Chains A and B, each alone.
Chain A
Amino acid sequence: MIRMSRWFCVLLIWILIAPAVWARGVYQDPEDFISEVFSGKAPPPSLLQISEDEQKQIREILGHKLGAGRVRYWQHEDRTVWILEEIGKERPITVGLVVDKGKLELIKVLIFRESRGSEVRYPFFTDQFKGASLGEDGQLDRNIDGVSGATLSTRALTKLARLALYLHQQREQADVTGQTSPR
């Protein structure tokens, strides 16, 4: 037990003196992500109004309603960028998604606040989403293999990929009916 006590002391000192300067789980600022996607020339954001019918469909995707009645996005021609959040186990994961002509071009974990499962931020996982589109059943057109031990984070990112593709589709329809507005 003497060795255990000594070990506890070392750990305690480490915790106390560990520099508290890093921002845990912040891999890229969302604004920087948007700027990077558009090569430094980000267009002004637009807003997509979410109708009741769309909320029902979003509930099918996420398992719950979307908190906001409208969603901000950035668009240049047929390419849209979305900053979306979903809880894995306990805390929201902030994800940047790029959709081009109805297909996922990029999905990137920007802020990860969960205590487990941050491996989903690595390209070896997120590269699986490249080129994915929505099938008629509202599911992705491909299987996404999860990261072992990060089941809930995998689930959250898969839901956000489906949501971004769905919102991209709704934006195209809203452009016709005038339900989007510049901001």
Chain B
Amino acid sequence: MIRWLALPVLLVLSVGTAGAIDARAPLADAQKQERYERMIREIRCLVCQNEPIADSNAPLASDLRREVRERIEAGHTDAEILSFLTARYGDFVLYRPPFTPRTWLLWLAPGLLLLIGGWVFWRVISSRAGKPIDRDWVDPAEDASK
């Protein structure tokens, strides 16, 4: 019963908040509106830190949306707007922080982990090289396709 209700209820709730977030009319210039919508997804709300300002109901998020909107209307570039925000709130406001000595571990960790995984994989493979193949083993996928 609950499961049947969950999806419609969630959908209705999400429509409600989506409407409430940005009550203001879209920017006249469609290209600017598109930039605005993209930028507010890139900026973190500092009150509720796991939300971009596009999704947050916090008063600060709405003030920051206004700031972004006005700056886009005034003809500022994306880089100018982001540097305005990072000068005041630090790199933490950006969902994609710049590559600096403080963040290199953050950026390089996935590649590093992949290298470590690859190295482990190679070690396992090479340690088994030259050992006899188990002829009785059947690939289940191949077996099913027959």
A and B form one complex:
no
